[in-house]
């Protein structure tokens, strides 16, 4: 039977490619993002190309009540979600004490609270049916602190730890939770987060390749998975994690300073 996937942040980048990949399998979609015009265009594209059902929900996940509204809308439409993909994310670069608090709070709300809220809203149904998959798109940033992106790295760490803890809580069920950690990817993220021109965003992976890595990991039920990682980047990640903490923090900061 066709599976229905709910994907947040579906209007661009990795989320958009995840939607296309799922539709190519014959799966139905619930697409969530702020920009309705982009969602509507993607709905037309996917329905015409693959003959699947696409439902659009325009929501801003910086609003604390958005996860409840999304779950309520899906329930009222009688849609049974099989795959929950928490892909939406915000980033911003700068010194924490200089960053406007509303910008930091928006990152915390989208990257951590909304992800947790949607997971909490849909997980009881998954457990009751003893079926379902959750893909939480975090980042390689989840594995260490990140000077100049202190809040972003911290929120991704929260999402990764939550995901891993749920794996153990759900071990006696057929529900899986995957912590998916993409490397730097060619999307709008770098420009929006002020990361253009930094070492981290040289030689980025394509959104399609990263999305495919994540989708496949979700279907396998992997606990942790990386997306778009070259051998060189993986070695750098391992080296950074093995360095003394202060030295690692300085290395991470240098990588995020504009050239």
Q: How far apart are CA 58 and CA 119, in angstroms?
A: 18
Nearest by Cα to 190 from 114, 256, 136, 142: 256
Q: At 81, is the pLDDT very low, low, confident or very high (cuts 50, 70, 90)?
A: very high
What average pLDDT does range 20-25 have in this prediction? 98
- The tens digit of pLDDT for each residue in 152-197 reads 999 999 999 999 999 999 999 999 999 999 987 656 565 565 555 5
Q: What are the φ/ψ torsions at residue 198 (nearest 5 degrees)?
A: -100, 160
User: Catalytic residue numbers?
Assistant: 152, 156
Looking at per-residue confidence, does 247 or 11 come out higher? 11
Any idea how long the chain is?
Answer: 259
Q: What percent of the chain has pLDDT above 90?
A: 75
Res 204: pLDDT = 72
pLDDT of residue 1: 76
Residue ranges of domains in the chain = 4-256
DSSP string, 182-221: E-SEESSHHHHHT-TTBGGGSSPEEHHHHHHHHHHHHHHT
Question: Whole-model pTM above 0.85?
Answer: yes
pLDDT at 196: 57
Determine the average pLDDT of the residues in 32-39: 96
Architecture of domain 4-256: 3-Layer(aba) Sandwich (3.40)
> pLDDT of 50-73, one tens digit each?
999 999 999 999 999 999 999 999
Q: Enter the DSSP assignment of 110.
A: I
pLDDT at 205: 79
The answer to whether 122 and 160 are in contact (CB under 8 A) is no
pLDDT at 249 > cutoff 90: no
- Three-class DSSP category at 86: strand
Q: Render pLDDT for 98-135 as a digit per residue (tens, 0 to 9).
A: 999 999 999 999 999 999 999 999 999 999 999 999 99
């Amino acid at each position: 039977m066709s599976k229905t996937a709910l994907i947040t942040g579906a209007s661009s980048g990795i989320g958009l490619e995840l939607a296309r990949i799922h539709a190519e399998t014959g799966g139905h979609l619930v697409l969530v993002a702020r920009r309705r015009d982009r969602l509507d265009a993607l709905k037309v594209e996917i329905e015409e190309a693959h003959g699947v059902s696409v439902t659009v929900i325009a929501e801003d996940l910086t609003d604390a009540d958005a996860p409840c509204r999304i779950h309520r809308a899906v329930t009222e439409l009688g849609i049974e979600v099989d795959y929950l993909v928490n892909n939406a994310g915000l980033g911003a670069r700068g010194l924490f004490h200089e960053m406007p608090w509303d910008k930091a709070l928006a990152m915390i709300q989208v990257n951590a609270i909304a992800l947790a809220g949607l997971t909490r809203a849909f997980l009881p149904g998954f457990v009751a049916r003893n079926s379902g998959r959750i893909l939480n798109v975090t980042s390689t940033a989840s594995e260490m602190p990140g000077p100049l992106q202190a809040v972003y790295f911290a929120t991704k760490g929260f999402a990764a730890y939550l995901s891993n803890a749920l794996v153990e809580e759900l071990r006696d069920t057929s529900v899986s939770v995957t912590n998916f950690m993409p490397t730097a990817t060619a999307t709008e993220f770098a420009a929006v987060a002020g990361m253009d021109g930094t070492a981290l965003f040289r030689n980025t992976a394509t959104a399609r390749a990263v999305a495919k890595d994540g989708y496949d990991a979700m279907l396998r039920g992997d606990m942790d998975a990386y997306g778009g990682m070259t051998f060189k980047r993986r070695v750098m990640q391992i080296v950074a994690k093995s360095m003394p903490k202060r030295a690692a923090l300085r290395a991470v900061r240098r990588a995020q300073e504009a050239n």
